Structure formats: structure tokens, C-alpha cells
């Protein structure tokens, strides 16, 4: 793993949350993206070398909506940049980590993504990200 790529924050109302984070960061999101496969709308902020992703579920059965129902709004995941997501997934599986995705899929912000189950990471959902192309 190379670095923290971004921190994902689950929000119930993107418009309300964007107003909060715009004030906090004195900045606006540099990117908004709909990720239909995850039933989520994302908003990315660039804060120095770091990124924050706001995630709003689009349906009641989306992973983000279920997360908010169960745990409330807040930090949803920490994403790490990797050079070779397939190799990193194989390495983590060999180490005994439970993977939510055994093969990467297209995610937001021009990335291939896969998640490691929080049961094996002290309750923290870990996302692996590899830049596409």
C-alpha cells in the first residue's frame, strides 16, 4: 500500500453536508460522480495532498444507506492507493484477510476498487484503489 488515497464519509443529505464541508474546508468539491454499481453519489474534496469523499446512498438498500441506518453518518472507510490491486488482493487473501471483493471493479474517481471486510481490520472498512490507465 502506497498511501491513504481518501477517507470516505457516509452522509444522509449531500446538499446539507456539502454546505458544512464547504465551510469547513473553505473549498468546494472538485468532482461529483454517480456510481450506479454501488447506488451512490460521491463528492470529492482535495485538501492539500489528501482527499475526502462524501457518499450519499441513492436507494434505501444501498450499502451507504444501510450503513447510516445501522451506525449513523460518519467515517465509512479508509482507502489506500496500490500499484497492483490484483496482486494486493491475492497477498491479503493469502494473509488470511476476508475480502468483500475478490476481483476489483470500477469505482469512483477513475479507480479500480475492492474492499477488505472490517471484521478482519478492527472494525474499519478498508478500500484498495488503483488508478485506471
Residue 133 is predicted with a pLDDT of 80
| DSSP label of 26 | T
Residue 131 is predicted with a pLDDT of 95
Where the chain has pLDDT below 50, the residues are: none
Residue 1 is predicted with a pLDDT of 86
Contact 102, 93 (CB under 8 A): yes
The 8 Å CB, 24+ separation contacts for 11-17 are: 11/54, 11/55, 11/56, 11/68, 11/73, 12/56, 12/68, 12/73, 13/56, 14/41, 14/43, 14/54, 14/56, 17/54, 17/56, 17/73
Residue 32 is predicted with a pLDDT of 97
Amino acid at each position: 500500500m502506497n498511501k491513504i488515497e481518501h477517507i470516505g464519509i457516509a452522509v444522509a443529505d449531500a446538499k446539507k453536508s456539502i454546505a458544512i464541508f464547504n465551510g469547513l474546508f473553505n473549498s468546494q468539491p472538485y468532482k461529483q460522480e454517480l456510481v450506479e454499481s454501488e447506488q451512490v453519489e460521491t463528492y470529492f474534496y482535495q485538501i492539500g495532498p489528501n482527499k475526502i469523499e462524501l457518499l450519499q446512498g441513492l436507494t434505501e438498500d444501498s450499502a451507504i444507506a444501510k450503513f447510516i441506518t445501522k451506525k449513523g453518518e460518519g467515517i465509512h472507510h479508509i482507502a489506500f492507493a496500490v500499484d497492483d490491486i490484483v496482486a494486493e488482493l491475492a497477498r491479503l487473501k493469502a494473509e488470511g484477510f476476508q475480502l468483500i471483493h475478490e476481483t476489483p471493479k470500477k469505482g469512483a474517481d477513475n479507480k479500480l476498487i475492492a474492499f477488505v471486510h472490517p471484521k478482519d481490520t478492527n472494525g474499519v472498512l478498508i478500500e484498495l484503489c488503483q488508478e485506471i490507465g
